[in-house]
Amino acid sequence: MTEVEAQVPDSPPCVVWEDEDLLVVNKPPGWNTHAPAPFAGEGIHDWFKHREPRWARLAIVHRLDKDTSGLMVFGKTPEANRSLTDQFARRQVNKHYVLVTDRPVRRESFTILSDIVRVGDRYLARPVGQGGDRAETHFQVLRREGALTWVHVEPVTGRTHQIRVHASSEGFPILGDPLYDGTPSRRLHLHAAALSIRHPRTQALLEFQQEPDFATPASDQLRRAFLSPATTTAFRRRQGAADGTPAWYEDQLGEWRLCWGEEWSPEHLESDSAARGTYFKPWLRQVRSTPAAEASPRAVAGEPAPDRFTVRENGVNYELSLKEGYSVGLFLDQRDNRRRFLTRHVASGFSLYRPEDTQPEVLNCFAYTCGFSVCAALGGARATSLDLSRKYLDWGRLNFQANGLDPNAHDFIYGDVFDWLKRLAKKPRRFAVIVLDPPTFSRSREHGDFRAESDYGHLVSLTLPLLAPQGVLLASSNAARLLPERFCAEVRAAVEGAGRRVVQDHYVPQPPDFPISREEPAYLKTYWVRVS
């Protein structure tokens, strides 16, 4: 395929090819090229750029629509970016797509040349010379299968929605493209199947091909794109309306599947040989006052799970249980944040620790089963886990042991977080990183009620005396009504109110297997800040 030696160390499954200059990926349907707004879900570019130092300078040189799947190339260096941009501008890049339509395609091979202009949310094709951007697309029928026609498409130009607009204007809108009058379907049947470019350094011709998969649900393709089953066996399978299943959610927990909603509804389930058993839990409004036996999920299909079982996440082992109450022992939406402790890398240009932090100290408040602490320890830090539950701290010790870590080399503090923050502030010990991921609501005899929506800034203020100069605060909340803009502003105000300064920051939404949509808004917010 190429004269350039390429290796893909620790890469997600969607990576097709990579060397020091280029990254080629097979983008799944349902994932934006880039974040559509500052606090929206990450696009595939954002997710890669902030994942590893080797992708820190990743640049977008061409785009695919959110619901279009297929091949994309990113530049990894300024030189590669300039070369790719020039190749696209000179139309030296060959791009080939496949579409499927359920409308008649009356010609076997033809070219559409038009101007394209935006009108509201749509783009329209106009005769050449009537205003807009010139667009040219070649079409050729590949095969006809009953009511469906598969068409090969080669866009000469690269206008927004160009293929979709030209197909619709010719009378065969793409299946699954209601914006352009296509028949509704589970996904947009448009795929970038082939791409050829010149390598920016060697000028070798690089040719890539990726066959379309219109049969696998888009939600499954999204998860398979960035989750490797060899290293991660726990993830969100269905995220309500964002995955086309309103008020219905599913987690894959190793060999078991956990579902929840208003009531048990097996019609949502799809055949899955990987699930030995399925559990269900209904929404509970008063989880804290419900006995563990009543709050625990109940088995509804297949084999029952053992009292404890192990899952893997980014290569880390965690002990879970479906019989210990409403929560199973791991909050899956914090996976990417836990990974940042493994790699010691927060975002592009943002290292977790300072170079002089040879064995940094990490304080994990509201530690639960100590997932952040385990990852911090695996990343070379000494972890202090603080929680009001002895049971969960003991569970955390098991997680340490499950990863070959000696719990005795780390600290586990049982008690009220607010009380201990004040007590620890009186000691000379300071932490390089402090994790704040409190429950949305908590109550203690000494300190009364804590509500994340109104009290998060006060919590940050209590924490800051323990944070070393140039230390990093991980501030996170799943309070849905606490909007990201206000959340970040409250954290910054607390820092400034303490006479300190935010010198570096990075906002992180929930991970891609918790997709965000208008029908299923974001809830998880994480703000990483380095404080002077």
DSSP 8-state symbol, 173: P
Q: How far is Cα 157 from Cα 310, in angstroms, rounded to an integer?
A: 51
Task: Identify the three-state secondary structure at position 272.
Answer: coil
Q: How far is Cα 431 from Cα 361, in angstroms, rounded to an integer?
A: 5
302: exposed, middle or buried (Cβ count in 10 Å: 0-12, 13-18, 19+): middle
Q: How many residues does the chain have?
A: 532
Pair 196, 93: CB distance under 8 Å? yes
Pair 268, 248: CB distance under 8 Å? yes
Residues 6+ apart with CB under 8 A from 197: 73, 84, 87, 92, 93, 205, 206
Q: How far is Cα 115 from Cα 118, in angstroms, rounded to an integer?
A: 10
Angle between helices 335-343 and 371-378 (to 10 degrees): 20
Catalytic option among 19, 21, 46, 65: 65
Q: Is 65 a catalytic residue?
A: yes
Measured in degrees and rounded to the nearest 5, phi and psi for residue 337 equal -70, -40
172: exposed, middle or buried (Cβ count in 10 Å: 0-12, 13-18, 19+): buried
240: left (phi over 0), alpha (psi -120 to 50) or beta: left
Q: How far is Cα 438 from Cα 474, in angstroms, rounded to an integer?
A: 11
Residues 6+ apart with CB under 8 A from 239: 219, 249, 513, 514, 515, 520
Measured in degrees and rounded to the nearest 5, phi and psi for residue 10 equal 50, 55
Residues 6+ apart with CB under 8 A from 118: 124, 160
Residues facing residue 194 across a β-bridge: 96, 209
Q: How far is Cα 220 from Cα 70, in angstroms, rounded to an integer?
A: 15
CA proximity to 115, closest of 97, 91, 136: 136
The C-alpha R_g of the chain, in whole angstroms, comes to: 25
**Catalytic residues, which ones?**
65
